Each structure stands twice: as C-alpha cells, then as structure tokens.
Amino acid sequence: MMKKILLGNEAVARGAYEAGVVFASSYPGTPSTEITEALALYPSIFCEWAPNEKVAVEAALGASMAGARALSAMKHVGLNVAADPLFTAAYSGVNGGLVLAVADDPRIHSSQNEQDSRNYFYASKIIALEPADSEECRLFTRNAYSLSEEYDTPVAIRLVTRISHSQSIVQCEKPQVYEQKKYRKDMSKYVMLPVNARTRRSFITKRMTRAQKLADNGPYNKEIIHKDAKIGVITAGVLYQYAREALGTQASYLKIGMISPLPRQMMTDFCQKYQKVYIIEELDPYIETFARSIGITNIIGQKLFPREGEFSAGLIAEKILKNYRPFNYQPEKDLPPRPPVLCPGCSHRPLFYALKRQRLIVTGDIGCYTLGALPPLLAMDSTICMGASVSMGHGVNKVLPNDKKQKVVSVIGDSTFIHSGITGLIDIVYNGGTSTVIILDNSTTGMTGHQTNPACGQDIYGKPAPAVNLEALCRAIGVRRVITVNPFDYKHMYDVIAAEAAASEPSVVIVKAPCKLLHNTTKDPPREVEQTLCQKCRLCMSIGCPSISVQEGQTLIDQVACTGCQACQNLCRFGAIKEKEPL
C-alpha cells in the first residue's frame, strides 16, 4: 500500500482506476473537473470530454451495457442536463459497473445556483455514497463498482466543493484485475418500452429494499460512540469532519456514508440512545425529512442551522455549544472587493466594449465571458444556464416591438455553444427569429481551466482531433449570414456587429481569437503610455483591463501583466498607447 496526498477528485479517479475502469466520459464543471483530468493520466483508461453531460452519461452507460466499468463526472447543474438518461439508466441498470461522480457547490463558489443532488439520487432510486475525505473518495468509488454490478444500478458518488477540492492522505491499493463482461443482447433490460419498463419498475423497488438492508448493516454507515457524550449527531460527508472538529467527544455520531437509500433501523436505534439528536447537513433537509418520515421526533435540524450556504466547525460549535466564544480580529470595513476579472489580453474584452457602446440587449451565457457583466463593462442582461443565451435571445426577439427587435444579441462561448447552443439556433431559424448569435471562439473551455472541446481540434490528451467547423455548422442549420471576425480588429468587429444586429434575418458572428493563457498563443510586446501624448481622457480605463491603472495622475500600463493585445491602443484617439520602444 502506498500513501499519497490527493485531492478528493484525484482520489475518486484513483478509486475508479483501482476498480478497473476503462472508459470515462465527462463534461467539465467546477468542482468536478479534476476527476476526469486525473483519470486521463492512467494509460489503461480511455477518457473523453463529451459535448455535454447528457452525452457523457449516455456514452458511459453504453460502455457499461457493453460490459466495461465506466464513469462520468459532472457538477451539480450538469446532472440537470444528464437527468434524462439518469432516470432511465436507473431502470436498465448496468452490465459493467457504472459510477456517476456528482459534485455539489454549497455557497455557490463557482456556479450559477446551489442545488442538492441528493434529491436526484432519491428520486431516481439509485444507490449513492458520500465520502468524508480523500481516502473515502478512493475507497467508496472503488467499492461502488461492485455495488453497481451486485445491485444492477448506476451508483452515484456525491461530492461537495470541500471534498472535491480538499487534499488529504490516501492509502492507495493495487488495482483489481477486472475482466470485462461479455456483451449480451437483453431487450427486457435495455429497451424501455412500457412493457419492459413496468417490469423494471418493480425490479427497482426490490433493488432498493435490498439496498436498504445494506444501508442498515453494511460498512458505509457507522456509529461512533463516545461514552460521556450527552448528544447525538447524524451527519454525512465533510459535515462529519466539521462536527467532530467542533464537538469532539462531547457528541456521539451516526456517520452516514450511504445517502441513498438512507438507513432506517440504524437511525431509529441511534436516536433512541440520546435525548437530543442534531442532524447536521448543508442545503436541503434531506436526512431530516427522511428521519421525520420514519417517525423520529427527537431531532433538531434546519430549525437551528442555516438553509443555505456552507457550514463550518465554527458554525456548528456556535449553534450547539452554549459557551463558544471564539477570538478573532474584527474584519476591516469597506475593503475594496476583488472579484474575478477578464485577464489582461482576454479576447472577450473588445467585444463587450463594442456591445456596451451599441447599447444592445445582450442575453448572456456561462463561461469566462460572463465576467463581461461586471463593471466597468456591464454588457450582459442575463445569465441563466448553459445555452440559454441563444434561446432566451430568441424569446426576447419575438416579443419586443419592431424598433427594439433588432437590438437583441446572444453571447455564447465555443464550448457552451456546442454544449447546448446549437438547438437554440435551430429554434431561431426554424421559427423565423431575427436575433444575432455571437459565438466567442477562444479555442478552449476557459472558465473551468482550459479543457479542450470539439471545436478546438484537440482531444483530452492534446492530440489532434477533428474540429467542428462552426461556420459550416451554422450555415447547415440554415443561417445565411455567418461571418467570422477578429476582436482585435476592433473597428471591423464593431461595424459587423452593428450590421448583423440590424439585419432582419438570423445571423451569427463568430468572434475568433485564442485565449491568451493557452501555451501556444503568441503574445505581443507590452504597450506603453506616451505621457506627452496622453490627454487623460481615461477612455482606456473603460475596458476594465487589470493591467491599466492611474497612479499619481498618470495612466500606466503594467509591463509584466500586459500581453500587448492592443484593445486599449485601438481605442486611444490620441495615439498615446504604443509598443514599448526598444532601449
């Protein structure tokens, strides 16, 4: 056995590797992305970035049906996209083991909402495990494969940001020798016509009844009893760590590792041992609702704890221990906030400046470019979910009066367009919309840390792969006005957007320039402000580039941060911004 220190996500990958997984298909999404990135480092596993989570889960289900062990990882909102295959894969069950690793994001560190995936596992009636540290990430994922095959179900590993993105020590084991199962045609299991689906529906009930026994007697749920404890705590995952940090031996614990189905008998028995039992869980009262439904009453949950955001050991101590008085320095008031920003040289910046100047209605989407909604650009009117820019723009376009109709543009990244923008564009063309879709093609999935995607000509390993031709794709959908522009040719881009927005038919503008952070993107020499020419109009400040600042009345460009993109130079009316002259 080899000890290693791993991220929760890397440990999930390790567990999958140890279980003999050979196929993984995912779409990136914080905080789940590193699972698939880590899987891609094992030569025995074929990994891929799928166009979206629904495709990924279906591909993994196919691999499972064919007899291999497979995995798909996603963030919580990714499971919304993959909910359709999930609910029926719960019926078909598996041949080779199938694991879905799903990472929730309490406190919305890096997402558009906060949702509790445990409800999905309950609703779709599959087995789900929730690890409390990296070692359990490895072990639970490894074991999930035999559970999946034994119970004939997909198994979910439920993660949260503080497990996925925390590092702790893992005891690696040798990989199992897993012999891929034979593929056998079995329509009764995989062709979900009503007649088969009804039979499988009954099977699911039996399966979950059987799994209930495992929840009550298996190795996943554990009592940790301290003899002087006066209170009981029921909790799962990282919350167990916070609870034992806060309460130590003052409490006894029922630590739940299997969150679907939940243990009935064990919970009942545990609650009989203590007068007061606290149920400590973030997000929805999932365990609490279950406990109440089986008639347990001496529990305290959401009446005491917040219904939103992240918990911590401090919060638990404060809520449960009467005399908890932590010391801390008072936070300084009115500190300048530091939200994330578009990087110096970002190819998205000139576009948002142009959109702002043209006072367009901009339905936006999710990616680095969502930052175009922040000051000083403020050039985005909506961001809901991946793909919604295109379809929402169509809705806006359809109902606005004629003089406003031509003011609607949708802004979407290359990865997001492939994920779920294409169907929205079909809607526009098919149903006679006239809005404009702007695809920000920076040749990468930037937001989640530079994953490749089907439009950028490389696979997950960085090897050459066929690239979707976005222009040809849009034309094939029926858009006649498709034009590609370079955002650093500002004037041209500006005019094209004005013309396309005004056109009374659907149009697509592809704004193409590679992300400056990609290793092979060339950078130009930094720019400099010629102070004698600068009229201090501060126009260059309005594009929100973090490398431009005003110090003691002078506008200066940070020579380390500047990538020489010329977004500021293109705007300066006095020719004061130039390439730094060689000494």
Tell whether omega for the bond before 263 is within 30 degrees of 0, i.e. cis.
Answer: no
Kindly state the number of chain residues that form the binding site for ligand TPP, as judged by CB under 6 A. Answer: 25
Backbone angles phi, psi at 49, to 5 degrees: -90, 120
Phi-psi region of 83 (alpha: psi -120 to 50; beta: other; left: phi over 0): alpha
Question: Pattern of binders to other proteins over 76-115, x per CB under 8 A?
Answer: ---------------------------------xx-----
Shortest distance (Å) from residue 115 CB to ligand TPP: 11
3-state secondary structure of 421: coil
Tell me: does residue 544 bind other proteins (CB under 8 A): yes
134 within 8 A of 167, measured Cβ to Cβ: yes
DSSP 525: P
Q: How far is the CB of 504 from other proteins (least distance, A)?
A: 37
78 binds, among other proteins, ligand TPP, none (CB under 5 to 8 A by kind): ligand TPP
Closer to other proteins by Cβ: residue 76 or 407: 76
81 touches ligand TPP by CB under 6 A: yes
Nearer to other proteins by C-beta: 384 or 503?
Answer: 384
For 512, the 3-state DSSP assignment is strand
Our finding on whether 466 is near other proteins (CB under 8 A) is no
**Number of Cβ within a 10 Å radius of residue 527:** 25
Spatial distance between the Cα atoms of 217 and 223, rounded to a whole number of angstroms: 11
Residue 449 found at the interface with other proteins (CB under 8 A):
yes
Q: Does residue 509 bind ligand TPP (CB under 6 A)?
A: no
Which of 397, 415, 434, 507 lies at the binding interface for ligand TPP (CB under 6 A)? Answer: 415
Distance between CA atoms of residues 513 and 413, nearest Å: 12
Of the CA atoms within 13 Å of residue 59, those in its CB half-sphere come to 20
171 with 3: CB under 8 angstroms?
yes
Q: Which region, judged by CB under 6 A, interacts with ligand TPP, from 76-84, 211-219, 375-383, 503-511? A: 76-84
Instruction: For residue 325, give both structure tokens.
Output: 């008085």
> Quick one: 397 or 547, whose CB is closer to other proteins?
547
Cα separation, 515 vs 144, whole angstroms: 38
Omega before residue 261 within 30° of 0, cis: yes
Q: How many residues lie near other proteins (CB under 8 A)?
A: 56
Nearest distance, CB of residue 450 and ligand TPP, angstroms: 8
- Structure tokens, 90: 């719960």
Handedness of CA 414, 418, 424, 426 (dihedral sign): positive
450 near other proteins (CB under 8 A): yes
Residue of the chain from 48, 130, 133, 500 that contacts other proteins (CB under 8 A): 133
Residue (63 or 513) nearer to ligand TPP, CB: 513
Among 424, 446, 454, 487, binds ligand TPP (CB under 6 A): 446
Query: CB nearest ligand TPP: which residue?
Result: 413
Give yes or no for a contact between 465 and 418, defined as CB atoms under 8 angstroms apart: no
Cβ neighbours for 134, distance < 8 A, ≥ 6 positions apart: 5, 6, 7, 8, 10, 11, 163, 166, 167, 168, 169, 170
Residue in the structure block whose two tokens are 């004061």: 576
Sign of the C-alpha dihedral computed for residues 74, 75, 78 and 83 taken in this order = positive
Site residues for other proteins, 206-235, by CB under 8 A, read: none
Per CB under 8 A, 295 contacts other proteins = no
Nearest to 452 by CA among 28, 65, 9: 28
487 scored as a contact of ligand TPP (CB under 6 A): no
**Residue 74 C-beta: closest distance to ligand TPP, Å:** 7
By CB under 8 A, is residue 521 in contact with other proteins?
no
User: Between helices 422-430 and 470-477, what is the axis angle to 10°?
Assistant: 30
Instruction: In angstroms, give the least distance from the CB of 367 to other proteins.
Output: 9
Site mask for ligand TPP (CB under 6 A), range 324-343, x = bound: --------------------
Q: Which of the ranges 61-69, 144-152, 175-183, 367-375 carries the binding residues for other proteins, by CB under 8 A?
A: 367-375
Q: Is 376 in the site for other proteins (CB under 8 A)?
A: yes
Residues 341-380 that bind ligand TPP (CB under 6 A): 366-369
d(CA 202, CA 183): 24
Among 447, 501, 511, 513, binds ligand TPP (CB under 6 A): 447
541 binds, among ligand TPP, other proteins, none (CB under 5 to 8 A by kind): other proteins
Q: Which stretch binds ligand TPP (CB under 6 A): 36-44, 210-218, 410-418, 536-544?
A: 410-418
DSSP letter at 277? Answer: E
* 562, burial (CB in 10 Å: exposed 0-12, middle 13-18, buried 19+): buried
Residue window 154-173: x/- pattern of binding to other proteins, with contact defined by CB under 8 A: -------xx--xxxxx----
**Residues in 237-256 at the binding interface with other proteins, rule: CB under 8 A:** 238, 241-242, 244-245
Q: Binding other proteins by CB under 8 A: which of 119, 146, 180, 312?
A: 312
Residue 547's beta-bridge partner residues?
none
> Which letter does DSSP use for residue 509 in this model?
E
- Looking at residue 567, its amino acid is A
* Contact by Cβ (8 Å): 148, 155: yes
Contact residues for ligand TPP, defined by CB under 6 A: 27-29, 53, 75, 77-78, 81, 112, 366-369, 386, 413-416, 440, 442, 444-448
Contact residues for other proteins, defined by CB under 8 A: 5, 30-31, 33-34, 109-110, 133, 161-162, 165-169, 238, 241-242, 244-245, 312-314, 326-332, 334-343, 368, 374-376, 446-450, 541, 544, 546, 548-550, 560
